[in-house]
Amino acid sequence: MKYFSLQALIGCSVIFAGCANKDNIIVCPAISAPAEGARAFVRSDTGGQIFDVRLNGVEATCTRHRSGGTAMELTVGLKLERNLNEGGDADVLAVPMMTAMVDEQQLVTSNNEFGYRIGFEKGVKKQYPTVEIEKIVPVNSRLVISLKPAY
């Protein structure tokens, strides 16, 4: 399975920021996204309009977790766009996302599905919201982030 590295989206998966003491910050495990999970089309809840949703980068701060793994605080950027010719009324959509932990044998050891609700005001074509995620990544594992198709 081909993986599209989020590092290509943002240039670097580690940004040293946040509330952690700089002495506690460590290098983050690999973060990736399958190419087919970097973009999805999502139908809105209210108007039924189709929105183009894309992953738009990630920032991560990592610290050593007491389990021996890595505690990751992530900010995932999204780009949401709609065609105003197909409707520009106020609308709400739930962006379905998922994360997975993949071990060194490339086996998925856990996964989590969640949604992020975003409101659009009348006449707004694009938005660039961010999603805050906290994960504990086991030793010798990596984190996969993906959008889920909802259309």
Instruction: Find the mean pLDDT for residues 64-87.
Output: 94
Amino acid letter, 73:
E
What's the pLDDT score for residue 149?
Answer: 72
Task: Give the model's confidence band at 9: pLDDT under 50 very low, under 70 low, under 90 confident, else very high.
Answer: very low
| Closest to 64 measured CA to CA, from 36, 98, 25, 93 | 25
Could you report the per-residue pLDDT of 89-135, keeping only the tens digit for each? 999 999 999 999 999 999 999 999 999 999 999 999 999 999 999 99
Q: Show me where the domains of the chain are located.
A: 3-147
The whole-angstrom separation of Cα 4 and Cα 103 is: 17
Whole-structure pTM value:
0.79
Can you tell me the distance from the alpha carbon of 56 to that of 138, in angstroms, rounded to the nearest whole number?
Answer: 25
CA 109 to chain centre: 19
